[in-house]
Structure 1
Amino acid sequence: MDESANKMNKFDVLGSMNLRTKTLLAIGLSAFILIVVVLVSFFIDPTSITTDWSIMNQPPSLEHLFGTDWMGRDMFTRTIKGLGLSVQIGFFASILSSIIAVALAFLSSFNKYLDSFVSWLIDVFLSIPHILLIILISIALGGGAFGVLVGVAFTHWTSLARVLRAEIKRIKTSEFVTISERLGKSKFWIARKQILPLVISQVIVGTILIFPHAIMHEASVTFLGFGLSPHEPAIGIILSESMKYLATGNWWLALFPGLALLILVLLFDIAGENIKKMLDPASAND
């Protein structure tokens, strides 16, 4: 009876949590796991991932959690290092992409000609498949981490720019903006002092939600051979190389890196969605 009562009390505690508490727990857990992955990958020296032909193609074990590959390299170490590299590229790409989105959204608010130009530019970028455009930009910049980063950044700003453009249009019709214009305040002053503080929450959420898309597209382009160098321990390269050995029964070479990438992307998505709930006035006080 006491054991069942304790279980019921635990469920009661979880059920009594409001949306804010549950949201904070989800954000905290996701952030903790992501930070651990990045820190661990940062301290892994790529030169430590050495080949050992005596343990090549070994299945998962206590000594090698994700098994070993065709060169005897530990797949767990390679996977963690690859995830850290993906997070770094996703971080810088999402930041740069958000800067582009904010700049174009505010540019469209200056006059109707710039607004038409920004609207046309968004439609042009949305009409081209992301993967194709990333590949073209990456090849033009010589490939590598820099080429992929720029390619991802210049293809993921469109959705955020469209949302910000619509929100800025709505804010510009507000009474306080009209009063500022009548008082002779410049458009730059209005944008910096009155509009930016009202859209900053959407910028934060948009930046976080760009993360998983940036990571997936980086891995996809690298998997196709147009991204990072084959010498980099990237997830896309690991998955691409493992395709050659799946027919021989080495299932762990693709399963664990792919599953780790999926979990990482889901964590970013969960964190972004919950932060969006926190910043939404309709649900923040539930």
Structure 2
Amino acid sequence: MSETKALRITNKVKGLSHLLTINRRKGTLLMIFSALFFFTGIILMSLFIGDERLATNFDAKNLPPSFMNPFGTDWLGRDMFARTMKGLSLSIFIGLIASCASVLVALLLGLTAALMGKVVDSIISWFIDLFLGVPHLVALILISFTLGGGVKGVIIGVAVTHWPSLARVIRAEVMQLRSAEFVLVSRQMGKGPWWIATHHILPHLIPQLLVGFVLLFPHAILHEAAITFLGFGLSPHQPAIGIILSESMKYLATGLWWLAFFPGLCLLIIVRAFDMLGDNLRLLIDPHNAHD
């Protein structure tokens, strides 16, 4: 009788564990769709906000947060909610392009290092170590300043400085895949390295590329805001988050706390949301982590 009860308890525990696993997967999917809905809402709001809310209005300057102006107004009477939404959409746009470029660079160099022999692998590994040894922000400032700043300079700077970590992951993954049986059979049939890379190896790298892109995105946004805040990024005439935070510093001592609080809080929320999205996407894609 005791053995029967123990068996029933074991089966119940297994069933509960299976139910929790399913619920966690559903929760992961829900979090992913919630984050995507949040980002889509920011972009749509920035598109529908008219330029009149960004225009100077001295009759409404330095107003605290209210129902009409949720984030208050600045020293020129501009609506801070409209400026924040415009700035976040601009950061998303820059982060999207820069992250895509970084992923492409990492993919190309990772495949080349793993498939083109030891000499090429040593050269690319040396470049990866070189870029990893230089602080991102310092290299980003130098590249952006050399290119004259602006959107082009920031995008190129972020794309050039954020690929090494993902390239190392891709290189290690390709090193394992190239010894797989289906790859060895293709080589024996006379297939070239790039045919094998595009038909056999690249499909297996899609999960790593997707997770790498999502995890690169918040770093791209933060570094764009950082160099813009320091004056090496976007133009002061653009409603970027870095510009908003930089301009608000001189007014905090006068009690206009909302000028920096709400834009900074929104920036942290969007960055944290992307971090959570990347972590949960990794759990959803990786079969080993999905059943931990």
SS in structure 2 at match of 1:108: helix
- Provide, for residues 181-232 of structure 1, a one-character-per-residue CA deviation record: whole Å limited to 9, x for no partner: 1221100111111111111110111011100000000000000000000000
Deviations 1:213-263 (A, max 9, x none): 000000000000000000000000000000000111111110000000000
Q: How much has 1:283 moved relative to structure 2?
A: 4.2
Aligned to 2:124: 118
Q: Does 1:248 align with 2:274?
A: no
User: What residue is the counterpart of 1:73 in the other structure?
Assistant: 78
Q: Is the 8 A contact 2:103 2:213 kept in 1?
A: yes
Cα gap change, 1:251/1:48 in structure 2, threshold over 3 Å: closer, same or farther? Answer: closer
Deviation at 1:175, TM superposition (A): 2.1
Matches within 5 A, 1:165-244: 165-244=171-250
Question: Per-residue displacement from partner, 1:71-130 (whole Å, max 9, x unpaired)?
Answer: 111101100100000000000000000000000001102111110011001111111111
Q: 1:57: which partner in 2? A: 62
Specify the SS of the correspondent of 2:70: coil
Pairwise CA distance, 1:271: 1.3
Mapping for residues 78-117 of structure 1, pairs under 5 Å: 78-109=83-114, 110-117=116-123
Residues 103-112 or 171-180, more deviating: 171-180
Aligned to 1:282: 288
2:29 and 2:217 mapped to 1: Cα distance? 19
> How many residues in Structure 1 have an aligned counterpart in Structure 2?
273
Query: Which entry has the higher C-alpha Rg, 1 or 2?
Result: 2
1:161 aligns with 2:192: no
Structure 1 length normalisation: TM-score? 0.92
What residue is the counterpart of 1:130 in the other structure? 136
* Contact 2:110/2:167, CA 8 A, preserved across alignment: yes
Given that 2:61 and 2:77 are in contact with CA atoms closer than 8 Å, whether structure 1 keeps it comes out as yes
Q: Quote the residue 1:11 is aligned against.
A: none
> What is the CA deviation profile of residues 115-147 of structure 1, one whole-angstrom value per residue up to 9, with x for unaligned ones?
001100111111111111111111121110110
**In structure 2, what is the equivalent of residue 7 of structure 1?**
none
Maintained 8 Å contact 1:20/1:285 = no
Matched residue type, 1:144: G
Percent identity over the alignment is 54
**Contact between 2:140 and 2:157, CA under 8 Å: does it hold in 1?**
yes
The superposition leaves residues 55-81 of structure 1 with CA deviations (integer Å, 9 ceiling, x where unpaired) of 211111111111110111110110010
Q: Relative to structure 1, is the Cα distance of residues 111 and 175 closer, same or farther in structure 2, using a 3 angstrom cutoff?
A: same
Aligned Cα RMSD in Å? 1.6
Measured in 2, the distance between the counterparts of 1:99 and 1:44 equals 33
**What is the letter of the counterpart of residue 194 of structure 1?**
H
- Report the secondary structure of 1:282's partner residue: helix
**CA deviation map 1:12-71 (0-9, x unaligned):** xx9795221111111011110111001111233446411111221111111111111011
> Which structure would you say has the larger RCO, counting Cα contacts within 8 Å and 6 or more residues apart?
1
Q: For the residues of structure 1 that align with 2:280 and 2:40, how far apart are their CA atoms?
A: 17
Q: Which residue of 2 aligns with 1:36?
A: 41
1:142 to 140, 148, 171: 148
Task: Indicate conservation of the 8 Å contact 2:21/2:291, yes or no.
Answer: no
TM-score normalized with structure 2 length: 0.90
Q: Structure 1: which 5+ residue stretches go unaligned?
A: 1-13
Higher helix content, 1 or 2 = 2
